[in-house]
Amino acid sequence: KDILNTIFKQYGLSSGNLNHYKTGKPYFKGQNIKISKSKRGNIIVYAFSYKDEIGVDIEKTNKLSDIENFSKYFFLNKHAKDIINRIGADQLSAFYTYWTLYEAYAKLTGKGLVYVLQNKLDSVPRIQSIIDNNFFYTFRIWPHFIGTVVSGRKKRVKFIKI
């Protein structure tokens, strides 16, 4: 918490203004700063944006027993085929890249991943637009963590490593 307060101070923010919607999405009361948070294991990632909604997700790239069926079930056909056509570590990396993209998109909208997955047809045009227009940035933390930041428009991403 001390580290986060240090970052907040650097950008003129106060943790006292940090609140959460009913969905759990964080926001700064009375500020144009948008925030998203993801935690996996001992890794916590925050993404901040001025005015534009933002979403971030990070996942540990655990091996999956049936990656093809998971892909077909969770993702759009186009994305599932992209994953299935890959081999080994590349296939696992592609799966988690799409997974973090979908989840970061869900956080951007504030509707949650279950909503996005249950309403894929409604979400498809927006997710594909994000992919087509490079409104996302995928990153790695150590060899076994993949994350994605999604924004409403293309932005420069600045990482603060702590």
Q: What is the mean pLDDT of each run of 10 residues along the chain (162 residues)?
A: 78 82 83 88 87 92 93 89 94 95 90 81 74 83 90 67 58
Query: What integer pLDDT is reported at residue 95 of this predicted model?
Result: 96
Alpha-carbon distance values, 62 to 43, 50, 90 (Å): 15, 33, 13
Question: In whole angstroms, what is the distance from residue 119 CA to residue 38 CA?
Answer: 22
Amino acid at 158: K
80-118 per-position pLDDT tens digit: 999 999 999 999 999 999 999 999 988 988 888 888 888
Q: Which pTM value belongs to this model?
A: 0.86
Phi, psi of 64 (to 5 degrees): -110, 140
Query: What integer pLDDT is reported at residue 85 of this predicted model?
Result: 97
Q: Distance from CA of residue 108 to its chain's centroid?
A: 8
* Max intra-chain CA distance, the chain: 48
Write the DSSP string, 115-155.
Answer: HHHHTHHHHHHHHHHHHHTT-EEEEEETTTEEEEEEESS--
Name the token pair of 37: 């948070």
**Secondary element (H or E) of residue 80:** helix 77-84
